[in-house]
Structure 1
Amino acid sequence: MSILEIKDLHATVETPEGTKEILKGVDLTIKGGETHAIMGPNGSGKSTLAYSIAGHPKYEITGGSVMLDGEDVLEMSVDERARAGLFLAMQYPVEVPGVTVSNFLRTAKTAVSGQAPALRTWVKDVKSAMADLKMDEAFADRNVNEGFSGGEKKRHEILQMELLKPSIAILDETDSGLDVDALRIVSEGVNRAKANTDLGVMLITHYTRILNYIKPDFVHVFVDGRVAEQGGPELAERLEAEGYERFLAGAE
């Protein structure tokens, strides 16, 4: 069972106004099998946390540590982080013209696993996962995210997660732009991945609606670059009723 340990993490980003500190001392531990919902207002640093863990070059880590099963994540390249078991479902997946979904998935699986999957088994696994996500088989021949709807992009992210089988998955606003049916299908994909492995999930979201489908073990309120409060599922219910006003007032 994997453990992701984030301790006193600080990160900055360059802006037209100069260097700006976004993460201001984040402490968070996610264990395999757990789901942690990260909630907070716009601009609080939730996505910065996700991209900092994944290794996005835009963000500079200025303090703290990120450890995965005792290994220093911050010393790893982006591909090493993926091979170590980290996965990021992006809020805005990018288009990759000229690369089909089927080629992308098999290449990614080979890179993460260190060897190419057996073709017959792999084709069966891909078709099964696509069927579960209500994706037409013709989808595999399309270019990655090119011309995809918002819902198709998010299903493709979850398809990757199910096939790559990471130990820790960071889902950055996977629910944004989804209608009710797509939200349910995507959520079922996350729940399947959790049921079949000891997957640990960091679920970043503004809204509680996805938490009706993916039940969190812990809820963390993210304000001004740090965790302002944490609790169980009942905290999400309180946020739904009250919003973030009491946290924002304290941050000013």
Structure 2
Amino acid sequence: MSTLEIKDLYASVETKEGRKQILKGANLTVRSGETHAIMGPNGSGKSTLAYTLAGHPKYFVDSGEALLDGEDLLKMTADERAKAGLFLAMQYPVEVPGVSMTNFLRTAKTEIDGKAPAIRTWTKELQDAMTNLRMDKKFASRSVNEGFSGGEKKRAEVLQLELLKPKFAVMDETDSGLDVDALRIVSDGVNRAKENTGLGIMLITHYTRILKYIKPDIVHVFAGGQFVKTGGPELADELEENGYDEYLPEGSKESALA
């Protein structure tokens, strides 16, 4: 059993006008095998939370803690956080020209495990995972995400998730830009990873449609840089029906109505 704990986390981002505080006392505990859906309005800080946990250099921790099995993630470099068991599926996966998917995945696996996987076992595992995600085998020799469609990039993210076997995955709007078929395939991959490894999941989303395929144990509302409400799966249905107005600051409500 592993545990990811976020304790009173404050973080800022560098803007043209200077640093702006986005996270304002976020608290969350995720355990192995749990799926936490994190929902909230645009600009509430959900992606900032994801990138702060992953160690993106654009974000600065002002105070608070993020612990993975008691180890301080915030003192680790981004690669050390990955080795500790944290995985970020990006909302907008980047292209890496000149680096093949095969080389990228095997190098990442070697770094995380501390040894290179056996070629025969690794090849079969890669091919099986690509088959499950309905990815053409030619993608293995193509540069990472280069020329991939939005749906193909999201499948490539889940391919990494299945092969690297982290303890916790932060899924930043993995459902954005996916049609119904791609959404189902990607969701199946996330569910396989959870079933096979006891993966803990932080699933950031605006909509409930992905929650039809990836069933949350707990649903949180994130607004104003912190978690403001927690409930069961029924909370997602409530948000779908009523929206986020009651969680917005007064000024934001007036702007939305203008």
- TM-score with structure 2 length normalisation? 0.96
1:19: Cα distance to partner?
Answer: 1.4
- Separation (CA, whole Å) in 1 of partners of 2:81 and 2:17: 31
Look up the SS of the partner of 1:25 in the other structure: strand
Alignment deviations for residues 49-82 of structure 1 (CA, whole Å, 9 cap, x no partner): 0000000010000010000001111111111100
Residue 53 of structure 1 aligns with which residue? 53
CA deviations on 1:153-199 (whole Å, 9 max, x unpaired) are 00000000000000000000000000000000000000000111110
State the 1:250 CA deviation: 6.1
Please give the residue correspondences for 1:107-186 in structure 2 after superposition, counting only pairs within 5 Å.
107-186=107-186
8 Å CA contact 1:45–1:224 kept in 2: the answer is yes
Q: Is the 8 A contact 1:223 1:251 kept in 2?
A: no
Alignment partners' CA distance in 1, 2:69 and 2:63:
20
Shift of 1:224: 0.8
Q: Which amino acid aligns with 1:139?
A: F
Partner secondary structure for residue 43 of structure 2: coil
CA distance in 2, matches of 1:31, 1:181: 30
**Residues of 1 paired with 2:249 and 2:137: CA distance?**
50
2:97 match: 97
Matched residue, 1:239: 239
- Supply the distance in 2 between the matched residues of 1:222 and 1:72 (Cα, whole angstroms): 23
1:208-239 Cα deviation digits (max 9, x unpaired): 00000000000010001000101110000000
AA of the residue aligned to 2:150 = G
1:68 aligned onto 2:87: no
Distance in 2, matches of 1:191 and 1:198, equals 10
What residue identity is the alignment partner of 2:32?
G
Structure 2 counterpart of 1:210, one-letter code:
I
Q: CA RMSD in A?
A: 0.9
Q: 1:50 & 1:249 partners in 2: Cα distance?
A: 22
Letter in 1 for 2:78: V
- Runs (4 or more) in structure 1 with deviation over 3 Å come to 249-252
Identity of aligned residues (%): 70
Instruction: Please say if residues 224 and 251 of structure 1, whose CA atoms lie closer than 8 Å, have aligned partners that are also in contact.
Output: no
TM-score (norm 1): 0.98
Render the CA deviation track for 1:22-63: whole Å, top value 9, x for unaligned: 000000000000000000011000000000000001000001
What one-letter code is carried by the residue in structure 2 that aligns with 1:240? E
Q: Where does residue 41 of structure 2 map in the other structure?
A: 41
For residues 172 and 92 of structure 2, the distance between their equivalents in structure 1, rounded to whole angstroms, comes to 9
Cα deviation for residue 251 of structure 1 reads 8.0
Equivalent residue pairs, number:
252
